[in-house]
Chains A and B, each alone.
Chain A
Amino acid sequence: MLDIADLSCARGDRTLFRGLSFQLGAGELMHIQGANGSGKTTLLRTLTGLSHAAHGRILWDGRPIGELAEAYRAELCYVGHANGMHGDLSAVENLRFQAGLSGAPDSDPAAILAELGLKRVIHLPAKLLSQGQKRRLALARLFVAPRRLWILDEPFTALDIRTSGFMAERVALHLAGGGMVILTSHQEVTVATPKIMTLQLDA
């Protein structure tokens, strides 16, 4: 479980938020809301360990994430603003690399992409995909290796209605299996799960 206590984050000299505390347990979804520039992405990056907090603690199962390092990262999947895909590699090559990096060599990238409706374009260079298709390719990373904690920055942006629905189902499935999700979204999150919490950053 993730335990955030008295967290403050700053970009340069500007403090984005301070005194943030919450806990996230198995099966819970945290929807982070806030205006542009309120620090949503910074918060998510801080929770992954990419950015450093100005102040406060982030504990995973009772231990600081900085101390856990690789052990924490092995429980985490982050899909940020950047899709993390190289335009000169095909969709399936990109995902196969992600699988190799996640230590999941026996996952089946082609099948995952087919499920996300990318079957016809798996061999196209990623740069030729549409914005929404690129986003689906980035989200496909969630399914190459089982991870307890999903941290998603605007996962539904640029997705069509069908894929949004599919993603919402998969998020619900992940939560039902004891997973945790932290996401930012300007849209209404319609995930069928009893435990949605919201956090207003500019409050």
Chain B
Amino acid sequence: MAGLADSLSHVLARDLLLAARKPADVITPLVFFAIVASLFPLGVSPEPAVLRGLAPGVLWVAALLATMLSLGRLFDADHADGTLEQLALAPQPLTLLVYPKILAHWLTSGLPLVLLSPLLAIQLHLPTGAIATLVLALLLGTPVLSLLGAVGAALTLGLRGGGVLVSLLVLPLYTPVLIFGAGAVTASAAGQGTEAYLSLLGAFLVLAAGFLPWATAAALRISLD
């Protein structure tokens, strides 16, 4: 068991080290997130009342798209340089090795989005209480985006135009997270309870974390065959 934990921590440490070596890969989706969210006041209306209504949806959609942008980082390089073969041949189940990879992806794509979101929420005139809900909802929802994205990234590995294909595959699957994530923030802004929304997002996270790495590993094995 100690050997397994050690292997998993090596996979996590490697991906975090690589992200630190290439900060541009981490920053680009984050800047994209900020720009998309900032375009709405320019394009729709700078009216605080209008923006307040749009904010939950805009921030969530921007977060989905920013996550999409970073999915290529998950397995593409490992597939090209043969590291993925070595992961598949390691004496640990590939399903378990996929966890630290997805965790590293979330730490370098989802978590920065969560941390940046309050700033953008203020820009969109979201009330303070709703900002707290937004952060909490993103904290529960963005790991689901990484987990679902990993399945899409694994399925489209090595295909030409994989980047576009992965959006077509994954964006429809993101809709439940979008609906309940944005719903939570809207409810909070309207002074209603958010417990139901957040519980559902939590349930998504538990289910996704339980099953999707297994699906990802199966897709990776198919891509390697």
Contacts and interface: CB of A to CB of B under 8 A. Distances in A.
A70 B9 CA distance: 18
Interface stretch (A27-35, A47-55, A170-178, A186-194): A47-55
B83 interface: yes
Contact of B85 (A70, A78, A93): A78
B82 A81 contact: yes
**Most A CB atoms within 10 A — which of B3, B88, B90, B91?**
B91
Interface string B84-107: 011111111100010000000000
A83 B87 CA distance: 13
B81 interface: yes
Contacts of A81: 82
Given A50-B224, A70-B93, A84-B81, A89 B18 contact: yes
B34 to A, nearest CB: 26
Given A52-B225, A93-B17, A82 B81 contact: yes
A96 B21 CA distance: 17
B38 interface: no
A83 B82 contact: yes
Interface size class of A (residues with CB under 8 A): 20 to 34
A89 B18 CA distance: 7
A101 B86 CA distance: 8
B72 to A, nearest CB: 15
A16 interface: no
Interface string B3-15: 1101101110010
Contacts of A84: 81-83, 85-86
B81 A102 contact: no
A165 interface: no
B90 A102 contact: yes
Contact of B91 (A73, A78, A97): A73
B77 interface: yes
Interface in B203-225: 224-225
Contacts of A69: 93
Contacts of A48: 89
A4 to B, nearest CB: 18
A123 to B, nearest CB: 13
Nearest to A127: B81
Contacts of B18: 86, 88-89
A142 interface: no
Contacts of B4: 103
Contacts of B160: none
A74 B18 CA distance: 26
- Which of A52, A80, A84 has its CB near the most chain B CB atoms (within 10 A)? A84
Contacts of B93: 69-70
Given A74-B91, A88-B22, A103 B85 contact: no
B91 A103 contact: yes
Contacts of A103: 3-4, 6-7, 91-92
Given A78-B85, A101-B86, A103-B7, A50 B14 contact: no
B10 A100 contact: yes
B88 A87 contact: no
A82 B10 CA distance: 21
Nearest to A74: B91
Given A50-B224, A51-B225, A103-B91, A97 B82 contact: no
A88 to B, nearest CB: 5
A108 to B, nearest CB: 16
B6 A85 contact: no
Nearest to A69: B93
Given A50-B85, A86-B14, 14 more contacts: A51-B225, A84-B86, A85-B81, A86-B77, A86-B83, A89-B14, A89-B17, A100-B9, A101-B97, A103-B3, A103-B6, A103-B91, A105-B3, A105-B6
